[in-house]
Amino acid sequence: MPGSKSNVSTIGGMCVLSALGAAVTCAMFLVFVPGPERGMTFYVAMSIVVTAELVLFAHLAYSRLARAHPPGPSRATRLEVHALILLWLIAAIITAVFAVRPENADTFTADKILVIYLLVTFLFFLAAYFLYGNSIEIERTDAQLVAERRIVTSKAPDIEHIIRAVEKIGSRNAEHAMLADRVGKKLDTLRSGLDSAFVSERALGQPTNSGQDWNSQLEKQVSQLVSLSDSASQVASEKIPELLDNIASKAESVMVVLRRREESLTG
């Protein structure tokens, strides 16, 4: 599975980078803070910087994977959250530097600095949660609206096929050309209506999606219209007016369903 291999390589690569980043961070703390000065504050400060780095690399991996597994947060939201993580990492580094200074280490001052950092961390995660939650909901709704609209617009090619059949009737039977032209215009109006079908976000949130009921009716009416046009090539000349009238009548029925569907979604 190419997709699975790509996911594994992304996660594996980020794990390696995260481990290297943590190793470098720990090495710098150990080098710049002498052994006798490594109290509880030292290990807490080193831990919060390493944790922030882990979150940074985890979010990088998630951002890469999210593009291949919609619906998820938008790219803009992922960038916003990533910027927040970078700011949070900078805050962690600044907090650690102040906390491990000899005059602050293992004192009440260091404790206050760490408490302030924890408050900033809480606000960061709260902001990221709401940003992601809102973006995921918007993306999910947009995907549903696109799928809903595609259901209706997918009927437009069927109407195009019927228009071609009616045009052939008019070209083969000059005495019915005007009637075929009128029916063709009506079908063209129907096709345009299907292409510009309305979808409603409010309807998606209803316990019973009325749009689905209208879509079922629409599919049934279009299928009946297609079945009428299928007999156009074999119909006798004297039956052509009746066939064209039936096609026009059925096209009007489809337009009525389309119009009522829109009214139910906007009403």
Give the tens place of pLDDT for each residue, 74-124. Answer: 888 889 999 999 999 999 999 998 888 878 778 888 888 888 999 989 999
Average pLDDT, the chain: 83
How confident is the model over 248-260, as pLDDT tens digits?
A: 898 888 888 888 8
Residue 1 pLDDT > 50: no
Would you state the structure tokens that stand for residue 113, as one six-digit string? 């600095």
Residue 188 pLDDT > 70: yes
pLDDT attached to residue 211:
56
Contact 145, 201 (CB under 8 A): yes
Coil/strand/helix, residue 72: coil
**Percentage of the chain with pLDDT > 70?**
90
Report the distance separating Cα 235 and Cα 33, nearest Å. 95
Q: Residue 5: pLDDT band by 50, 70, 90 thresholds?
A: low
Residue 215 pLDDT > 60: yes
H or E segment at 96?
A: helix 75-100
59: nearest Cα among 117, 17, 109, 101: 17
Rounded to two decimals, the pTM is: 0.66
Coil/strand/helix, residue 154: coil
Q: Which residue has the higher pLDDT, 64 or 71?
A: 64
| CA angle, 20 then 22 then 26, to 5° | 120
CB atoms within 10 A of CB 81: 21
CB burial of residue 138 (10 Å; 0-12, 13-18, 19+): middle
Match 């790509």 to its residue by tokens. 6
Would you state the structure tokens that stand for residue 227, as one six-digit string? 């079945």
Would you state the structure tokens that stand for residue 144, as one six-digit string? 């549903």
